[in-house]
Each structure stands twice: as structure tokens, then as C-alpha cells.
């Protein structure tokens, strides 16, 4: 299913992605076209194929068949670092942070990794320009007050925000978020998503996020892709997808009992 009706080059496009692990088909003919500045969510039960899709787009897995295009460029066979440097970044369900470093030091490390200039023994990681950029990102996510705190001392919500903030180091054009509100208190989920969406919108980042919380999906998505058994079974506006009987039966479990039979 090709979902974009515009003639503009999509930010991200996949064509016929296929991926199997032995007898398990993790991705079957995944074809999507995501326009610039869109905010899409990916829903589905565990094992539905969401993470396989994200891993293929970000270079952690290569599809058995199909093509991945970023702003019209074929990136199908690039590895994770090259995909990141091209402009596609991701955050993880479990934040990928160094517990022995402070918030600011974590940011400086991520900036050094994202720097397109070749590493130099003589170039300091703590250059003033890098610190300025690190503090700019921390302020955007409203966590600058934690800059001197060790990551291991941070509340869960701040760790989530720091992980996403670090993903912004490379000035991404496309961001993939893996359950950005998992593991945080219920009262924190909307404030965290408000901060994340505001920060990404300020830099015109096209965003796809994996999420199990349908309140988050409804509130923040322009469009929803519903995965089941490695296939996309629905692809539309949030209200239409969440009211789809197949999605209610296979994904959300909200189909009335008398209809399920």
C-alpha cells in the first residue's frame, strides 16, 4: 500500500520489504511512503513486525528483498552508522546511556560520535562549540538542570528525554522512537511527549514512533500503521485505524465479544 498522494519526494519510503527468520516471516511486502514533517505511529502486538521494520530502516537489519529510500536515496544496504550520518536516527525502548557519565558528558559523547569530521587525537571532545550545542539540546528538552548529574541518578522520565536528546545530536531529518513513554509514570507520559514533539517539530523532523498506549497514538499521530504477523493490516488516520475491526481484533483487543465470534 502506497500511502502518499503528493508528488514531493517522501522523507522515507520503503518498497516491498521482506524479512524472514527461519520459518517466521517478520516483514511481508512492507510498502510505505512517509512525507516530510509527518508524525506517524506504529502499533501492533509484540512480534507483529514493528521492531523489524525499524531495524531495517535504521540499518541494524538488511531486508531479504525490497528497497529503502531516504529522501530519494537508496540506503537499503547501509549500516547503522552510515544511516545515522545520512539523517535517520532512533531512540530505544531502554535508553542507551552511559551510567558512569553525567548528563552533559553523555551529550558530548553523542555529539562526538555524530560529528562528520574524522576523529583526531588532538581535538578535544569538550570543545566550547560542542558544549554550546549540548546545552542547546538539553534546554530544548528542558533537562539542562540535570547536566551535572550521573545518568544512574536520573528519574525514568529524564532518562527517556536524555536518550531522545542524544539522538538529536546528528541533526536528523527522520527520527524513529521506540516506545518513548514506556516505563514512565502515567502522569509523566503527556508532558514527556509534549516536550519531544515540540523539540522535533522545531527542527522539522519527520517522526515515526512505536507505541502501545492508544491515548498517545491518538493524541500525537497524523497517521497510524497497524502491524500484524509481519504485515501492515491498516494504514490511515488514527480514528479510522483504531475503529477498524481487524485492528480491534488483532492489535487492540477492543472488538466486542459478540463480533469476535
**Structural domains of the chain, with CATH:** 12-260 (3.40.50.300)
Name the E strands within 107-249.
174-178, 206-210, 223-228, 231-236
pLDDT in tens, 138-165: 999 999 999 999 987 888 888 889 888 9
Cβ-based burial of 145 (10 A; exposed 0-12, middle 13-18, buried ≥19): exposed
Per DSSP, the three-state class of 6 is coil
243-to-34, 57, 216, 237 alpha-carbon distances in Å: 22, 28, 16, 10
pLDDT in tens, 32-79: 999 999 999 999 999 999 999 999 999 999 999 999 999 999 999 999
What pTM was computed for the model?
0.85
Distance in angstroms (rounded) separating the CA atoms of residues 175 and 34: 12
Amino acid at each position: 500500500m502506497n500511502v502518499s498522494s503528493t508528488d514531493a519526494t517522501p522523507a522515507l519510503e520503503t518498497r516491498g520489504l521482506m524479512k524472514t527468520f527461519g520459518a517466521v516471516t517478520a516483514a511481508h511486502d512492507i510498502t510505505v511512503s512517509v512525507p516530510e514533517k509527518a508524525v506517524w505511529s506504529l502499533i501492533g502486538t509484540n512480534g507483529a513486525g514493528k521492531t523489524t521494520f525499524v531495524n531495517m530502516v535504521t540499518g541494524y537489519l538488511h531486508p531479504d528483498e525490497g528497497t529503502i529510500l531516504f529522501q530519494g536515496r537508496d540506503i537499503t544496504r547501509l549500516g547503522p552508522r552510515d544511516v545515522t550520518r545520512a539523517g535517520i536516527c532512533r531512540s530505544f525502548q531502554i535508553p542507551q546511556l552511559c551510567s558512569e557519565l553525567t548528563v552533559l558528558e553523555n551529550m558530548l559523547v553523542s555529539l562526538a560520535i555524530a560529528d562528520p569530521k574524522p576523529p583526531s587525537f588532538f581535538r578535544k571532545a569538550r570543545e566550547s562549540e560542542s558544549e554550546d550545542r549540548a546545552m542547546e539540546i538539553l534546554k530544548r528538552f528542558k533537562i539542562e538542570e540535570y547536566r551535572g548529574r550521573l545518568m544512574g541518578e536520573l528519574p525514568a522520565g529524564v532518562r527517556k528525554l536524555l536518550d531522545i536528546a542524544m539522538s538529536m545530536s546528528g541533526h536528523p531529518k527522520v527520527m524513529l522512537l521506540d516506545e518513548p513513554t514506556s516505563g514512565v509514570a502515567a502522569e509523566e507520559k503527556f508532558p514527556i511527549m509534549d516536550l519531544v514533539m515540540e523539540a522535533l517539530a522545531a527542527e522539522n523532523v519527520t517522526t515515526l514512533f512505536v507505541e502501545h498506549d492508544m491515548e498517545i497514538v491518538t493524541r500525537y499521530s497524523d497517521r497510524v500503521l497497524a502491524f500484524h504477523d509481519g504485515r501492515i493490516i491498516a494504514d490511515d488516520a488514527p480514528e479510522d485505524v483504531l475503529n477498524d475491526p481487524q485492528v480491534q481484533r488483532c492489535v487492540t483487543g477492543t472488538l466486542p465479544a459478540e463480533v469476535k465470534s
